Amino acid sequence: MSDILAFDLGASSGRAILGKLVNGKITTEELHRFPNDPVQVGDRLYWDLLRLYHEIKQGLLKAKHNGAELSSIGIDSWAVDYGFIAEDGSLLGNPLHYRDRATEGKMEQLFAEIPAEEIFARTGIQFLTFNTIYQLYARKQNQSPELGAAAHFLMIPDLLRYFLTGEKYNEFSNATTTQLYNPTTRQWDAELIARLGLPVEWFGEVLEPGALAGRLQPSVQEELGVGPIPVYAVAEHDTGSAVVAVPALEKSFAYLSCGTWSLLGTEIDQPIINEEAQRLNFTNEGGFGGTFRLLKNIMGLWILQECRREWEREGKSYSFPELVGLAGEAKSFASFINPDDPSFLAPGDMPERVKDYCVRTGQAVPEQPGEIIRCILESLAFTYRNVLELTERISGQTFSGLHMVGGGIHNTLLCQWTANALGKPVWAGPAEGSALGNLAVQWIAQGEIQDIWEARRIIRDSFPVTDYKPEDVAAWDDAYRRFLQVTGSSSN
């Protein structure tokens, strides 16, 4: 038996999870949890990367003080964001947050230089305004001084691994999200990068999940009083790790990684890059074992979280269970939003934006917190149905139900309403999907677990899965048709 440590960094918090594999069962212990708050400086929004690195070191210290004998470490986080390392090895500035406004309008400007069809054909990645390619394009246009001093491009987990090990590697699942990686050639797209006017040399060797990425360097060992612990590249996009942990028993399955973002799709062996996938804005992100995640991003519980923050700023404090309870008491199917409307992307007064959307679309305007939250949650459930149906069509598969993983499964109302909207069962669990997938890849790399399917079986045996059966299907079907009409969501 050996101890391993997963650092799972989300858009609002991070955690250090200690994992043990004993007699074919996984046990986990949360050793350290910490906030991950963006920092606004003037009109720029940054990640506090050095604070995250400090918290990772605190997690390592807590593991040591707990008596853990770590055989390895892995880090996963959100995608698309990055930083630069100078020739002398120093970090060049704080990484920008993907919700920073610097990329507004940049996607359309780039399309005038490189057609969207060509970008999708080369990368298979959906068009989101904050993708790395548009962040870099904006910096090039703004003549960012960091570009002149940069020698290496590293994404968030790559940077944190570099601080720990001194080794500069990129990782496959995160690299694919940049819209600069060619999934067909399995390399950075050198021509696309050059056409952006960026040095191809910035973009380094890409490691597959499960590859050894280095060991804790001597300075870290001395500071923390630990040994040269191996650091593995896991599926470092947290959704990639979450999909590893989906407790599916059959090869054809659909998943929803539910948290600040919702990501819904299926696992495929080869990317699907065609006109229909582009038109419906699906993506092909890298996964474990050379697989791809055919999926769509959905704005997710971010909208609810921002509503709660706004009410707190107004002096009205609600817990998440209280808000869910109020939603359950509100009138059903009164109004809907498209969660992916651009008005919901940036931080701000989200309750007012929900109301404005309903005014713009000629609907009843929700006023009370319960009405607003019900509008959000019902709209998410209907969006999940819409995206699941589109996933079936593009992939040529039919799914008997939906696996939900991630912290969003604590919202039992959303799980049940999703089953109602789908007219299919929802299997919810585990909640710590990304951390478990991170741990699983480390065990596979060490030979403790044979492959991803054994990992999924062990996870299913180790953690409860709640089965939600659909209810009131006729009423939800009728409301779904109204949702599609009101929001203009594509059903074909």
- The structural domains of the chain, with segments of one domain joined by +, span 3-236, 238-429+465-492
**pLDDT of 57 higher than 60:** yes
Phi then psi dihedrals of residue 21, to 5 deg: -120, 110
pLDDT tens-digit series, residues 251-266: 999 999 999 999 999 9
Give the integer Cα–Cα distance in Å for 184 and 199: 21
- Half-sphere exposure at residue 444, Cβ-oriented, CA atoms within 13 angstroms: 27
Band the pLDDT of 489: cuts 50, 70, 90: confident
Asked if domains 3-236 and 238-429+465-492 share a fold, the reply is yes
Provide the token pair at 273: 């890059």
Per residue in 266-287, pLDDT (tens digit) is 999 999 999 999 999 999 999 9
Whole-angstrom distance, CA of residue 325 vs CA of residue 383: 21
**CATH superfamily, domain at 238-429+465-492:** ATPase, nucleotide binding domain (3.30.420.40)
Is the pLDDT reported for residue 383 higher than 70? Answer: yes
Mean pLDDT, rounded, of the chain: 96
Give the distance, in angstroms, between the CA of residue 272 and the centroid of all CA atoms in the same chain: 20
pLDDT at position 236: 98
Smallest CA-to-CA distance from 257 within 389, 405, 364 is with 405
Beta bridge pairs of residue 150: 86
**Is residue 490 scored above 90 in pLDDT?**
no
Q: Give the CATH superfamily of 3-236.
A: ATPase, nucleotide binding domain (3.30.420.40)
- C-alpha 10/C-alpha 35 separation (Å) is 9
Query: What letter does residue 237 receive in the DSSP assignment?
Result: B
**Over the stretch 19-42, which tens digit does the pLDDT of each residue have?**
999 999 999 999 999 999 999 999
Name the catalytic one among 238, 341, 356, 477: 238
pLDDT digits (tens, 9 = 90+) for 437-452: 999 999 999 999 999 9
Q: What is the pLDDT of residues 300-339, one digit of tens each?
A: 999 999 999 999 999 999 999 999 999 999 999 999 999 9
Q: Are strands 402-405 and 254-258 parallel, antiparallel or unpaired?
A: parallel
- Evaluate whether 147 touches 139 at the Cβ level (below 8 Å): yes
Query: Tokens 């699907």 correspond to what residue?
Result: 272
Does residue 1 surpass a pLDDT of 80? no
Active site residue 238: yes
For residue 241, the tally of other CB atoms under 10 A from its CB is 31
